[in-house]
Structure 1
């Protein structure tokens, strides 16, 4: 027994030091060279931290562009989806409620025109981005509430669209709403 016990203890201690101390320190060191120095990419407004670039925010006022719904109420500590199948009656009811709410706040919009991302939560529940189409469908509402020119809002959307050569174009909702607040 002693023949196997001592090598097992030595191996356990070596692995604890290697995987429990050295590896985490290495990853933390590498993170300091990443954008945001491993602390996330903060978004500032008037010198104050108002959110994180890669975490969705909840906007419920009609004067703001709304982002993708969250199954975890935008709680970054509890990231996750609803885990319900598209055939689940509870899921379908939730999606229909979101469609009805969107239509109530965006009169003149047809349900078939609503981009799916505005009524379905992402897998993480924290998606900070929407498509240009999802922003465009909200332009009339935001322009009416804020008494802004529709053309100016469309230009603001175009200016905040991150064009990607690899994936779909996207807009960070938090950054778009900060720019919206900055308009006079």
Structure 2
């Protein structure tokens, strides 16, 4: 069997996604430290570059050109993370990898995988947690929902109600009834 560097193969042979890679340094400020309208791109001659802490001044990236230009990817090399970006519309449009988590941006939804195994899905109006033990918590403006890892307990809290299903039974009450009557002095 012939050796190939491709991860996936079709029946006709290797499947290639990218055909060119180029390292560039983007200088976002001119020598007088004024912000440029468009960054000055410079390919380092020795293929090495220092990673600056403030990417607003200077950043290093690898530009991967796809066989089909729609597949182009930009790998940003930062002192605290590696970030992959591409145009939206093809599934993921961003990936960030650091010491504590991997984050993926898919259709304006961030999905994070933390070092402890927790998975977080965040949209503009809600956040869902899949904890390392298997329990699920979803928070939104309207309600908070929790399902235990073994599905034996389910709770839902809204601004005015609390509902729970446990091994002891079912509870569904207005929140004020649970807290008791108010005694304003």
Q: Judge same fold: TM > 0.5, yes or no.
A: no
Q: Could you tell me the TM-score, scaled by structure 2's length?
A: 0.21
- The structure with the largest alpha-carbon Rg is 2
Q: Report 1 or 2 for greater relative contact order, CA contacts < 8 Å, sequence distance ≥ 6.
A: 1
Report the structure, 1 or 2, having the larger helix content.
1
